[in-house]
Amino acid sequence: MAAQAVRSVARERGGITDGAGVVILGGCAVWSLIAATGRDARPEGVLLAVLAVAGGYACGRICGSLLPVAAASAASLAALCLAVASLPGSGMAGADPVTAPGSTGATAALLALASGAACCAAWAARPYPLRLGLRLLALGIAVTALLLGSVAGFAAALGVLLCSLAAARAHRRAVGLAGLALAAGLVVGGSWAVAEDALPDGLTVSLEGRLSTNRVLLWRDAIALAKENPARGTGPDRFGRLSPTARQTPGADGKPHSAPLQQAAEQGIPGVVLLGAAFAWMLYGLWRSPRSTPVALTAAAALTALAALAGIGNALSFTQVTAGAGLLAGLATARQLGEDGADAVAVSGAGARPRSRQT
């Protein structure tokens, strides 16, 4: 009776999390249509991104319930292959010498997701040799990033691996998730401060040198457009036509190379709120996840790396990245069949120490 009550409460809370995801993702889709109403706008990109996240999440939940180790391992290898294929000049990223930093964010994001999936698979594996091999795969992904010339991808992949190893000592995942959310917020806040020219002159000059003057000018155009239309923005996919910097940049892709600033410019304040809510929903799902704490924190680290890259780059403009984010979140929140202990972890607030036999 007690076990049945525990499982019932766990399913109820899982249903609340899934219901919140439906509302938030649905809100993102509906608001993009509202922001496009009466304008020469194209909300198809936003709708495709929402569909990719939802589809990836559903696939991850299903595969993670049936084959947690195999599914996460396959996802890691697939993301690695896509990262290699998305290099500038391969035809997928479509990078130009001027816009390459933003486009190559897709490569870095895929490498971070690949590392996160490999580490999740390692925590789910029972045999020690297999677990060690999967962690070596994550390390190999970081090395591959260096060979590909993606410094951001190397930092992201290695950071995810180190966070995953550190998660072994975490007893309450809420603290770790809060720290990761704060890190993502600092990156987004920093990019916004640079766009507003609110930082000290020396720091601003230093950041502009690393980010490129062109990207900072794009950010400032996004801020200007957001201030002109704070409620609905200018409409999806209209930034490139309205930004003076984008129009004057040869080969520009029409993006400000910052997901929050793009939402602010094209969909106003509600668009930014919905984007933040989608990230918060994923972290909340990981907090309530029946999987072990190391798995949840590893996935959260990969998603945080993606959020940071999206805050200063163009990562979320690529369907393979948004689908990969949804897939990883689904894998890390899947309830494995026949695992009563997993339900108990979910009900206890997702902060308990993982059981040694939990996969």
Per-domain boundaries in the chain? 2-347
Spatial distance between the Cα atoms of 172 and 71, rounded to a whole number of angstroms: 26
Give the helix/strand (H/E) hosting 51: helix 44-66
C-alpha count within 13 angstroms, C-beta hemisphere, residue 309: 36
Spatial distance between the Cα atoms of 122 and 129, rounded to a whole number of angstroms: 10
Q: What is the pLDDT of residues 218-265, one digit of tens each?
A: 999 999 999 999 999 999 999 999 999 998 888 778 899 999 999 999
**Coil, strand, or helix at residue 130?**
helix
- What's the rounded mean pLDDT across residues 190-203? 87
Spatial distance between the Cα atoms of 192 and 188, rounded to a whole number of angstroms: 6
C-alpha count within 13 angstroms, C-beta hemisphere, residue 342: 22
Q: Is the pLDDT of residue 342 over 50?
A: no
Task: Report the b/e string of 133-152 with b at 16+ CB within 10 A.
Answer: ebbebbbebbebbeebebeb
3-state helix, strand, coil in the chain (%, to 5): 75, 0, 25
- What pLDDT does residue 266 have? 96
Q: What is the pLDDT of residues 48-103, one digit of tens each?
A: 999 999 999 999 999 999 999 999 999 999 999 999 887 655 444 443 433 344 45
How big is the CA angle at 355 (ends 353 and 358), to the nearest 5 degrees?
A: 130
Q: What is the pLDDT of residues 169-191, one digit of tens each?
A: 988 899 999 999 999 999 999 99
- What pLDDT does residue 61 have? 96
Q: Where would I find the H helices in 67-104? A: 68-85, 100-103
Q: Are 93 and 87 in contact (CB under 8 A)?
A: yes
CA-nearest of 207, 307, 310, 186 to 256 is: 310
Please tell me the pTM assigned to this model. 0.88
Q: Are 195 and 216 in contact (CB under 8 A)?
A: yes
Spatial distance between the Cα atoms of 204 and 208, rounded to a whole number of angstroms: 6
Q: Give phi and psi for 314, each to the nearest 5.
A: -115, 25
Which residues, in sequence order, are CB contacts of 131 under 8 Å at separation 6+? 122, 123, 125
CA-nearest of 54, 64, 123 to 297 is: 123
CA 40 → CA 19, 112, 235, 303, distances in Å? Answer: 33, 35, 8, 33
Q: Report residue 102 as tokens.
A: 């933003």
Confidence of residue 12 (pLDDT cuts 50, 70, 90): low
Spatial distance between the Cα atoms of 204 and 324, rounded to a whole number of angstroms: 33
- What pLDDT does residue 142 have? 96
Share of the chain above pLDDT 90, in %: 70
- What's the rounded mean pLDDT across residues 327-353? 63
CA-nearest of 27, 30, 36 to 232 is: 36
More confident residue, 208 or 330: 330
Spatial distance between the Cα atoms of 9 and 112, rounded to a whole number of angstroms: 34
